[in-house]
Chain A
Amino acid sequence: MNDILINIKHKHYDSTHSTQHNTIENLKFSLPSNEFICLIGPSGCGKTTLLNIIAQLDNDFEGEISQDGQALHPNIGYIFQNPRLLPWRTVRENIELVLNKEQSSDCVNLLLKSMQLEESQNKYPQHLSLGMSRRVSIIRAFAINPKILLMDEPFVSLDAPTARQVHELLIKLWLQRPHTILFVTHDLREAITLADRLVFLSPSPMSVISEIKVDIARENRNNENEIEGFRQKLLQNHPEINDLL
């Protein structure tokens, strides 16, 4: 199967009623299947808009998202910046609600177990910590067996140990059920820890500045020195990135 192609020519945004400006201009990159891609760019450059376009929540743009020349209608999992759980449904109900009739709830048990949330499955979201809610929203996205998983700065405002724990759980889950992940962040260290490839985006109007492969073996990703070394080298070799961070 060929790569998914993202090609957005223009995306306008009405900031006020009188002025229109482009948030995205000639943005082009490909999504090879089962690759973990991190999008890095300054805040406000339009990363969330891009994810909303891919998720087909926003259809008001010029361009196309295609695979083999055909428009794409894949199963998309979306992990939003806020977990967006239904507060009046339990953890388990929140996850089961996204399943269609063919998908069994057995996989929910497995996912709950792998995210260490079995004990909390009958709790309501307001009784969970932020880290736990984030893990629930990850399970919800994985439960539909997505072809593409969109993640919009999902680990912001988690403390370092919790973030590390969720990173590890995410990668473990992803290696078990591979699919394409598009992960938005502005934390370079986080990006290097998680991604196969980094895509750097310019400030608005957004386009791709450079794409960089992360060639650290998966088993060495929890080695802080290795990550830091890669980061230093990256910043030296690509001075254009410095302005984005």
Chain B
Amino acid sequence: MNLNKTLPSLSLLLFVLIWHGMAFFVNDNTLPSPVIVVEVLWKEVISGDLLRHLGITLQRLIISFSIAMLLGCAIGITLGINKKLNAFFDNWLVIFLNIPALVTIILCYVWFGLIESAAILAVVINKLPNVIVTIREGTKALDKDLLEMAVCYKFSKTKTFIHLIWPQLHPFVMAATRTGLALIWKIILVVELLGRSDGMGYQLHLYFQDFDVAHILAYTVAFITVIQAIELLILKPMDQQAIRWRR
């Protein structure tokens, strides 16, 4: 039997067992056992509530993530290429990197009202500086020898981007994607909790008022499952595709 393949499942099983054991000893509503959580999860899925709110949150995640990535890549590449622009905007980046997420969320709601676009904007502003910095470093590290080769052999701009720049930026884009997803979905819940009347964050807020931990954990499990699915079904295959040329 291949130990490397069974180890991850074993560790997951152990995690659930420890959880179950602790729930058994504590024997209180504040720590429901995995069985109860799965039951609640199933009930919520059947009723359609969970899927609706999950869908709304995922929609916000996809929109804000796409905007942050596209804008971040464009700005990051520009700053990476242009030294003067970079020197000028470097301070701005540091400022935006260090504004607490909660502050941007509150300010967006105060300035633009409790509306959907303000929520999306708040998430984008939180994520954007990270993408810019990652892609900027990637652009600075582009291989000058290969760029010279492209100039010499008269590559068009599109050709240079597709065959030379993109493959070199790919690891940086993947890094920005992974850290981005992890960051964005945590921020989105806060955004929803503070100023929206639907989505996962709003639901968690409701259950928190009832101290209903079983529901809170059920929603958490659902969310982790979705993020894992994105990792396994979308990101991993993208990685495999991109590194096939490596030794």
Contact = CB atoms under 8 A, between A and B. Distances in A.
Contacts of A140: 153
Interface in A71-109: 76, 78, 80, 82, 84, 86-89, 97-98, 100
A201 B223 CA distance: 70
Contacts of A127: 247
A126 B246 CA distance: 7
A88 B167 contact: yes
Contacts of A89: 163, 245
Contact of B145 (A55, A80, A88, A124): A80
B19 interface: no
Contact of B149 (A80, A100, A144): A80
B245 A126 contact: yes
B146 A86 contact: yes
B167 A126 contact: no
B159 interface: yes
B146 to A, nearest CB: 6
A149 to B, nearest CB: 12
Contacts of B244: 124
A126 B245 CA distance: 8
B245 A88 contact: yes
A57 interface: yes
Nearest to B164: A86
Interface of A: 52, 55, 57, 76, 78, 80, 82, 84, 86-89, 97-98, 100, 124-127, 140, 144
15 contacts: A57-B148, A57-B151, A57-B152, A78-B149, A78-B153, A80-B145, A86-B164, A88-B167, A89-B163, A97-B155, A97-B159, A98-B153, A126-B247, A127-B247, A144-B153
